[in-house]
Structure formats: structure tokens, C-alpha cells
Amino acid sequence: MPANALPGVSRRRVWVNTATKRIVAAGGIAVICAIALIIGYLLWVVLPMLAPASIKLHSSHDLSLETALQVASDDRFETVTIIHSDGRVEFRDSTSFDLVDEVNLIEAVLKSAKPVFPTADTYAALTEENDLVFFKVTHTIRFDGGDRRRIENRAEVLFESSAVPLMDVLDHDVFRGSAELRVAALASDGTITIHEYEDVEDSYELDEPRKLEIEPWGRNTKDLQILLGPRGRWLYEVDESTGDYRLIDIATIRRFHIAAEGSLVGQNDKFLLLAPILGRYSFLVATESGRLDHWSLGPTPSGSDFRKIREFYFASPIGKVVAEHRRKGFLAIDRTGGAHLGFTTSRRLLASASLGEIPRIVDFSPRGDRLLAIGSEATNVYKVSNKHPEISWSTLWGKVWYEGYEDPVFSWQSSSADTDFESKFSLQPLLFGTIKAAFYAMLIATPLAIMGAIYTAVFMSPGMRNWIKPGIEIMAALPTVILGFLAGLWLAPIVEKHLTSVLLLFIVLPIGVFLFALVVQLLPRTISKRFDGWLAALTIPVLVLLAYVTINNDAWISNLIFGMDAKLWFYEKAGIDYDQRNALIIGLAMGLAVIPTIFSISEDAIYGVPQHLVEGSLALGATQWQTLIRVVLLTASPGIFSAVMIGLGRAVGETMIVLMATGNTPIMDFNIFQGMRTFAANIAVEMPESEVGSTHFRILFLTAFVLFVLTFLFNTIAEVVRHRLRKRYGNL
């Protein structure tokens, strides 16, 4: 009933009462919402990875730009650069397509203007006189007096106008590294000449080149296409009529070496075109049957060769392929003008749209969010929304055949200094590492903790128990960073030095205790009776002494068992490499961190077994041990199970110990002498460097979410089981 119905209750008291109620309710619900927010937010970050990609017409302009040879755009897609065959460079506003600037760059008619691999802003223009002229396009943002933003567009010829005379050329390609410029040119007699210029900087003049001539292949030279490969160290030569190829190693400019020859198409198929993917470690090959095969340069037993690593299929043959500038994505346009957005690593076709025709010139914007297509009648800009093409279920959890690999593998390698790096986002090695770390930790913690709990709950004298329980609780609060530090800097070197004896301890200690028990057993009952309840204290000197003696005689024991150093033996006989910070260390250190959790909960469960059950069993003539196994443990088993689950949850999510006591290499090797990388440690290592909103960022959130779900699951199972247990005791 409302309080104001009662006499003598002032309005103030009523007000306080209602206010309290509201505040508590609001606060309580807020806290609960905050907790729910965690799941919600993690998902909110993860889910955009699943957003579908799209290509949509953004703007259409009535321009056919017939003389255009090449288009490009700046980083934010504000200015479009168009290179014309009359040597002009036009800068147009990306939205209105109005002319902003124009430069008469080269006084000659251009046959082609190709981007210099792998730069984004340098071009090599081939004049009709077969001179190769290099120029660079830059867009600089300037702030004028009144803080007005203005883009300054420039195009300038490099190397002080000194052109490279190619004389007679059918096809050419240019590579520009940090210290060299390589020009490959195919002459009409089929000879390929490589010119290498050293130490090129924008303003320097080109010095005398070093030359390398590659003999003709003996094919119809009109059909040949040449392409410089990764870091300018390879030359790809393809016969477009047959789809045959030569892979030529030109790493040193002094001599060449034909690394491989072969065919890129099947027996009854016809080669259509070849398009390199970012970095040119791999390329796509379109054929008449509508296939688009992904070939990669990679190691083979005999050296290097192209391998077909995945295939795409289309209804209509592909007539044009353009690659993205910063990722391993591409756009394939079929003969009907249908454009298909694809990604190589994840083998996904993400979106399709009709362009109406195969445009004469197509290019992505640098960020891959716009597509510029110059067609026969109009110039169109398409908006591409394609944020996370790298991700698919199979790239996260399955084996992926990455560029430059011999086989499909599970690999986690999120970033690299190279811009053309193919990110490897397989979660499998991390999951494996997490399981491995938890497994070894549980292997050591579970028996120790449960046995300890049994003794403490059943046999220990109350005097000792009063000390042990809080002691173990304090152990649970020990910061894991300290355990990790000790494990990594103190324990790991000791274990490495005394490997044999440390391994032997797992056998020596139980046997030693057994023998000691036998000796005590032989003492008169009047004496041994006094030890009841204090056995644990009694075993301490035995354990310490045995451990001390074993560790200190490591060299002798090692010689006795292996005849040499244990690490050496493992390496020579079993081929097992020893990592100083390995799973054994993790097992010991994280085991120590997990023991208190398991111990406390299972001790409570065992201690809570109703006394009348125990007494009944003993009264029926069972020994203490039989009572324990058949009655106590059986009754307490759900509680022990839940203790193990909670311990497992802790082991799975532990960060600092793993971070400090392993090498954090994401390998998949269950060997106890090797390290691992877990989800938690991976987050700690990579999260601070991850770019907000990137695929990597979202994947790290996904791993956090997986960790959350895993531990939540373990804990819920434990909770449900414990709940059942409580009910069962209620019945007893």
C-alpha cells in the first residue's frame, strides 16, 4: 500500500522512499545495461564485416575523352587525372568533372602511358618516336592566407627530361625500386632488353644503364606480352595466342635464367588476358570458357614457378580485369558489360553491377571506394562500398592458399612493413595456441588442485585447514604479471638448464612420497597416528629435498638417461626443437594461476557433502578411501566439474603469463617444447597498433568476442551444474 495512506508519514518520507526506489531501480538497470553493452558493442564492431559490398553509379558525365590514355585519382578522390595521347595532363574535379588544371607536359604524341610498377604516382609515357618519358603527378593540399583549403595539382617530367630511347618496341614495362629503375622492352625481333639505372632520384639525370638481353622465345612476337614481377626481380613473358608463359629470373642484372615454362590455360580453352594483382606476386588469367584463374609465383621443389591457387567462374568470358591499388581485390568485367567485384585471398565475388559495355579505361580510386570508367559515350563514376572483402568463413577458419606459398596453410600474419602485403587472418593458429596453453595448464593444475581439495576437505585437521584456505585464496589474487615475469625470466632459464631433472620430477616426486609413506606406515601406530591431518605438512620437506637433489644432479641424471644433454637428445633423436619459453613453462606458470580457482570451488563442493552420507558409508565398513571415492567424490563431482570449467575459462583468457612466458609465435605445433600465441596475447600485442575500423581491428574484436563467448559458456555450464548440485543436496 502507498506509504502516505499511513498516518504520521510525512510527505518528505514518502518522497525519499520513492526517490530511493527510483534511483536504485535506475542505477541497477543501468549497471545491467552496461554489462549487456559489452556484448552489444563487441558485436557492433564485428558485424560490419558481414556487410555486403556494392557498386552503384555515382555520377555520369557526358564526356567520351577519346584521347585519354590513362586515368588516376588522388587519395581522397577529389581530383581526377587524365593523361591524353597529345601529351596533355588534365585535372578534373571528381564531382563535376570540370577542368581544374591542365598541363602540356610532353611535346609529342604518346602511344601509351603506363603507371610505373609499383608506384602510384609515376608514369612512363611512350612517344611515337619510341622514347620513354617519365613523369610524376602530385596533389598537395595547401592552406592559403584565409585558411582556405586548396589542392595544388602538378605533373612534372622526371630525370630532367632525359628520355630512354627504346628505338623499336612492341611491349614494355617499367619498375622503380628504392635504388634502381628497370625498363624492360620487347623488340620486334623478340629480344627483350632490360635497362637498369641506378640510384634514381626525381631530380637526377639518368646515368648510363646496365643492360641485359634476353634471347627471343621463338614465338610470334606480335602476340607477346611482358611484365616485370615483384621487386623487379622477375620477368613474366606470355604468349597471348596460346597462353604459354616463360618465367625469367632477372634478380641480378648480369645474367638471366629461365626459371620455368608452361601454359596458363587448359587443353580446350583459349587464353584471353592476364591481369596482375597488387604486388604482382600473382595474377588473374581469363579464358574463353568464362574462367578467371588466380596464379601465383611461388616455390616449387625445383625452384620457382607459377601455381594455380584458386579459380573463379563466370557465365560470360571476362574481357577486362583491373586490380585494386591497396588490396588484393579486383574488378572483372565480362563481355556483356557486367562488372564483378572480387577478392583473391578470400575467393569471394562480392558484388556485381552492369556497366553496359566494357569501358575503354577503368580504374579504382586509391582507396578502392570509387571506380572510374571511361566508356565510348560517357564517363561514369561508380561508388564502391567494399570494406572487408578479406573475410570469409573459410579465410578465418580454413586453410588458405596465399600468394607465394607452396600449399594452402593456416596462418596468422596480420601486418607487415610492405604495402603489397597479403594479410593472413586465419584464426586457427590462435585458437590452437589458446587450446594448447589451456591444455598444458589444466594438465598440471587439475590433478594438483583436485587432489589438494580432496585432502583439505576430507582429511586435513581443522587447525591446518584454517591456514590453507586463506593462503590459497591469496594465491588466487597474485597478479599474473608477476607469475609471467617469474616464469619468463626466472623459471624458463632454470628449466632450460635442468630439463631432464625437471621432467623427471613428475615421476620422482610421487614415487618419493610413496616411499616416504611406506616408511611412516612401518612406524608404530602410536607414533604415526599423530600425523593424521598433518600429512600435507609432512610431505613438504620430502618434496623440497627431492626436488633439490634432483635439480642439482641434473648433469649426472641427464647423462644417465640420455647420455647427453636432454635438449640435444630431443633435437637429434626426435627432431624436436627446444624453445626457451615454451608450453611446459606456460603449463607450470598458468597452472599455478589456475590451481587456486579449481581448488577453492572443488574444496567447497567436497566439504559440502552431507556428513551423514560419509558416516553411513563408514558405518557399513568401507575404508576412508573407499568412502571418499564411492560416496564423497561421486556426490561432489558436479561441483568439481564446475570448478574445472571455471578454471578452464581462466586459462583460456589469461593474457600476461602467456605474453611474457612464450615467444608469441603463431605456430601450430602441439609439441610441449614449443611456444604458441593465444587469442588474449594476440589482442594485447596487436590491438594498440591496429587501425580503427580496419578489417584487422574488427577481427581482433571478433577474437575478443570469441573469448567472451567461450568463457561465458564455460562459466554458464559450471553455474548450471552447480545449481543442479545444490538442488541435489537439498534432497539428501
Partner 1 sequence: MSLGSWIKSGDPWIWMTASAVGACIVAVLGLLGLIAVNGLAHFWPADVVSLRYKNDLGEFILAGEVVQRETISRDQFLEASPNRGNVDGAEFERWMIKSGNRKFDPPDFRWIFEHEVVEQQKNEEMIVFERAEWGNAYGTLVAIRERGAEIASSYSWDELQDRIGRVEQLRNQARKIQKGSINRINYKLEQLRLEEQRRNLREEERIAKLERNQERLSQLSDAERSRLLTFNIETADLEERRRKLNDEYGLEELRLRNIHGQLDRDEIEIKIADGRTISIGLRDIIRAWQPNKMSIGQKIAHYFSSIWVFLSQDSREANTEGGVFPALFGTVLMVLLMSVLVTPFGVIAALYLREYAKQGPFVQLIRIAVNNLAGVPSIVYGVFGLGFFIYLVGGSIDDLFFKAAQPAPTFGTPGLMWASLTLALLTVPVVIVSTEEGLTRIPNALREGSLALGATKAETLFRIVLPMASPSILTGVILAIARAAGEVAPLMLVGVVKLAPTLPIDGNFPFLHLDRKFMHLGFHIYDVGFQSPNVDAARPLVFATALLLVLIIIALNLTAITLRNRLEARYRGALI
Q: Which of residues 168-227 bind partner 1 (CB under 8 A)?
A: none
* Phi, psi of 223, deg, nearest 5: -90, -5
Q: Within positions 509 to 538, which residues make up the interface with partner 1, using CB under 8 A? A: 509-510, 513-514, 516-518, 521, 535-538
Eight-state DSSP code of residue 389: T
Q: Is 570 in the site for partner 1 (CB under 8 A)?
A: no
Establish if 29 lies at the interface with partner 1 (CB under 8 A). yes
Alpha carbon distance 272, 239 (integer Å): 10
Nearer to partner 1 among residue 421 and residue 459 (C-beta): 459
With binding defined as CB under 8 A, does residue 8 bind partner 1? yes
- Which residue lies nearer to partner 1 by CB, 117 or 516? 516
Compare residues 374 and 437 and give the one whose CB is closer to partner 1.
437
Instruction: Please report how close the Cβ of residue 534 comes to partner 1 at its closest, in angstroms.
Output: 9
- Which listed range, 240-248, 304-312, 569-577, 650-658, lies at the site for partner 1 (CB under 8 A)? 650-658
CA dist 69 and 639 (Å) reads 75
Residue 99, burial from CB neighbour count under 10 angstroms (0-12, 13-18, 19+): exposed
Q: In what helix (H) or strand (E) does residue 157 lie, and over which residues does it extend?
A: strand 149-157
Closer residue to partner 1 (CB): 303 or 471: 471
Q: Please, what is the minimum distance in Å from the beta carbon of residue 668 to partner 1? A: 22
Distance CA(484)–CA(662), nearest Å, equals: 9
Q: How far is the CB of 445 from partner 1 (least distance, A)?
A: 10
What mask of x and - would describe binding to partner 1 in positions 40 to 69, judged by CB under 8 A? Answer: -xx--x------------------------
The least CB distance from residue 584 to partner 1, in Å, is 15
Q: Which CB sits closer to partner 1, 101 or 565?
A: 565
Nearest-approach distance from CB 31 to partner 1, in angstroms = 4
Site track for partner 1 across 424-463, x = CB under 8 A? -----------------------xxx-xx-xxx--xx---
Helix (H/G/I), strand (E/B), else coil: 219: coil
Stretch that binds partner 1, among 75-83, 240-248, 353-361, 710-718 (CB under 8 A): 710-718
Q: How far apart, in whole angstroms, are the C-alpha atoms of residue 174 and residue 696?
A: 33
CA distance 528 to 354: 91
Sign of CA dihedral 269, 275, 280, 281: negative
Q: 168 near 227, Cβ under 8 Å?
A: no
Least CB distance to partner 1 at residue 468 (A): 7
CB of 367 to partner 1, least distance (A): 20
Which one among 279, 649, 666, 675 touches partner 1, defined by CB under 8 A?
Answer: 649
C-alpha neighbours within 13 Å on the C-beta side of residue 144: 6
**Residue of 115, 209, 389, 653 that binds partner 1 (CB under 8 A):** 653
DSSP 569-638: HHHHHH-----SS-HHHHHHHHHHHHHHHHHHHHHHHHHTS-HHHHHHHHHTT--HHHHIIIIIHHHHHH
Q: Which helix (H) or strand (E) holds 511?
A: helix 499-522
Contact positions with partner 1 (CB under 8 A) in 71-130:
none
Cβ distance to partner 1 smaller for residue 17 or 413: 17
User: Does 17 help bind partner 1 (rule: CB under 8 A)?
Assistant: yes
Report the interhelical angle of 695-731 vs 11-46 (nearest 10°): 120
Q: CA–CA separation, 340 vs 362, rounded Å?
A: 13
Region of 275-283, 327-335, 405-413, 681-689 interacting with partner 1 (CB under 8 A): 681-689
Q: Using CA atoms, how far apart are residues 580 and 586, in angstroms rounded to an integer?
A: 11
**How many whole angstroms from its chain centre is CA 601?**
36
For position 638 contacting partner 1 by CB under 8 A, the verdict is no
Which residues face 238 on adjacent strands?
225, 245
What does the chain come to in residues?
A: 732
User: How far apart are the C-alpha atoms of 326 and 367, rounded to whole Å?
Assistant: 7
Q: Give the shortest CB-408-to-partner 1 separation in angstroms.
A: 30
Task: Build a one-symbol-per-residue string for 589-618: x at contacts with partner 1 by CB under 8 A, - elsewhere.
Answer: ---x--x---x-------------------
Q: How far is the CB of 121 from partner 1 (least distance, A)?
A: 25
Q: Taking the complex as a whole, how short is the minimal distance between the CB of residue 480 and partner 1, in angstroms?
A: 7
Nearest distance from C-beta of residue 711 to partner 1, angstroms: 5
Rounded least distance, CB 216 to partner 1, Å:
57
Q: Does 650 bind partner 1 (CB under 8 A)?
A: yes
CB of 539 to partner 1, least distance (A): 4
Taking the least distance from each CB to partner 1, the nearer of 167 and 549 is 549
704 touching partner 1, by CB under 8 A:
yes
- Segment 135 to 174, residues that bind partner 1, using CB under 8 A: 146-147
Tell me, by CB under 8 A, how many residues bind partner 1.
117
Nearer to partner 1, 69 or 660 (CB): 660
What region does 444 belong to: left with phi over 0, alpha with psi -120 to 50, or beta?
A: alpha
Span 344-383, contacts to partner 1 by CB under 8 A: none
DSSP 490: I
Indicate which single residue of 660, 672, 676, 725 sits in contact with partner 1 (rule: CB under 8 A): 660
The smaller minimum CB distance to partner 1, of residues 132 and 449, is found at 449
700 contacts partner 1 (rule: CB under 8 A): yes
Given candidates 680, 699, 721, 725, which one binds partner 1 under the rule CB under 8 A? Answer: 680
By CB under 8 A, residue 545 contacts partner 1 = no
Binding of partner 1 by 565 (CB under 8 A): yes
- Pairwise CA distance, residues 603 & 239, whole Å: 76
* Binds partner 1 by CB under 8 A, chosen from 222, 629, 634, 670: 629
The answer to whether residues 442 and 648 touch, using CB atoms and an 8 Å cutoff, is yes
The answer for residues whose C-beta is within 8 angstroms of residue 72's C-beta and 6 or more apart is 80, 81, 83, 115, 120, 121, 137, 363
27 sits near partner 1 (criterion: CB under 8 A): yes
Q: Are 620 and 477 in contact (CB under 8 A)?
A: no
- 508 touches partner 1 (CB under 8 A): no
* Least spacing, CB of residue 118 vs partner 1, in Å: 30
Cα distance between residue 228 and residue 242, in whole Å:
20
**What's the min distance (Å) between Cβ of 510 and partner 1?**
7
Closest distance to partner 1 from the beta carbon of 592 (Å): 6
Contact between 633 and partner 1 by CB under 8 A: the answer reads no
DSSP-assigned states of every residue in 82-119: EEETTSEEEEEETTT--EEEEEE--SS-EEEEEEPBT-
Q: In whole angstroms, give the CA distance from residue 94 to residue 97.
A: 5
**CA atoms 605, 607, 509, 626: torsion sign:** negative
683 lies in the site for partner 1, by CB under 8 A = yes
How far apart are the C-alpha atoms of 558 and 57, rounded to whole Å?
74
Residue 397 binds to partner 1 (criterion: CB under 8 A): no
Q: Is there binding between residue 497 and partner 1 (CB under 8 A)?
A: yes
Helix (H, G, I), strand (E, B) or coil at 493: helix
Stretch that binds partner 1, among 222-230, 293-301, 312-320, 687-695 (CB under 8 A): 687-695
Cα-trace Rg, the chain: 36
Q: Which residues, 462 to 491, sit near partner 1 by CB under 8 A?
A: 468, 470-475, 477-486, 488-490
Task: Please tell me the distance from the alpha carbon of residue 410 to that of residue 398, in angstroms, as a whole number.
Answer: 7
